[in-house]
Amino acid sequence: MRIQNYAVEGAGLGLRRSFIDEIMQLEQPPIDFIEVAPENWMEMGGRLGKKLRAFSERFPMLCHGLSLSIGSPAPLDEAFVKRIRQFLDEHRVRLYSEHLSYCSDDGHLYDLMPIPFTDQAVSYVADRISRVQDILQRKLVIENVSYYAAPGQQVEEIDFINAILQRADCELLLDVNNVYVNSINHGYDAKSYIKAVNSKRIAYLHIAGHFNEAEDLIIDTHGADVIDPVWQLLHYTYQQHGVIPTLLERDFNIPSLNTLFDEVGQIRHIQSQYRSDHVASA
């Protein structure tokens, strides 16, 4: 079990423009950190730029990118990475994470495409991550993504991810909901996956809701409440790796702010159980 200082602590919420004003009016919102997509805010001035500045001064801020396309066959967009670095520095962003996937080739694909789980892809992606880290002058945090096909697969997903983490010396954003979604869609054991993750590489966690298309097909939407099996998998993650900062994602069908705060409070409640267990056993 990993015991160390993380870049943030507690339970966070992905910041969305639909509720930014409502949070601003609260004296003490029940969140410990926020996360934004830098592409939605970079080089933005005016009223919205000022609001983001106010948030970054008030809360520890993380960035979860959308466009790095780390597995793309196209050359790495180093100019874009330099713009990201400027944004991270400007807002004192604690961590920058991206999807272990790709979304571009000759043009933007507007979806997260699966990287083939092969030894060759491990080398290719790890080298690109290393270059990104050189430009950013900080670690890149990669996220395990949901996927619906595994073209050219030669190794297991978890072995693929662990190999990249080791070779690139980067960190992991462990998305617990994605583990659950993929375990249903591809027929593997979610707990075995969680257990196989290297605790020392985990930077923080995501948790979210999804849509059940069929008994054996789940779509990762971030558009619904977190379901009980995913909450239980979060319990198991803390049991295996200790209490890790955890962020609630909600991108669509966004409910009231109080409903979001209830789910953030559920994260915090679960965290408190395992902190208490650790104190009792110390």
Kindly provide the b/e burial profile for residues 123-143, where b requires at least 16 CB atoms within 10 angstroms of the residue's own CB: ebbbebbebbbebbeebbbbb
Q: Left if phi > 0, otherwise alpha if psi is -120 to 50, otherwise beta: which for 175?
A: beta
Paired strand residues for 213? none
Q: What's the pTM?
A: 0.92
Whether residue 245 contacts residue 12, with contact meaning beta carbons closer than 8 Å, is answered with yes
| 207 closest CA partner among 163, 260, 247, 161 | 247
User: What string of pLDDT tens digits covers the 282 residues of the chain?
Assistant: 445 689 999 999 999 988 999 999 999 999 999 999 999 998 777 888 898 999 999 999 999 998 898 988 889 999 999 999 999 999 999 999 999 986 645 544 445 677 889 999 999 999 999 999 999 999 999 999 988 777 778 999 999 999 999 999 999 999 999 999 999 998 999 999 999 999 999 999 999 987 666 576 687 776 678 999 999 999 999 999 999 999 999 988 899 999 999 999 999 999 999 986 554 444
**Cβ pair 271, 246 in contact under 8 A:** yes
Nearest by Cα to 184 from 225, 219, 157: 219
Q: How many CB atoms lie within 10 A of CB 280?
A: 7
Structure tokens at 123: 């080398």
What structural domains does the chain harbor? 11-281 (3.20.20.150)
Q: Which amino acid is at 198?
A: N
Please provide the DSSP assignment of 155-216 as one string. Answer: S-HHHHHHHHHHHHT-EEEEEHHHHHHHHHHHT--HHHHHHHS-GGGEEEEEE---EEEETT
| CA-atom Rg of the chain in angstroms | 18
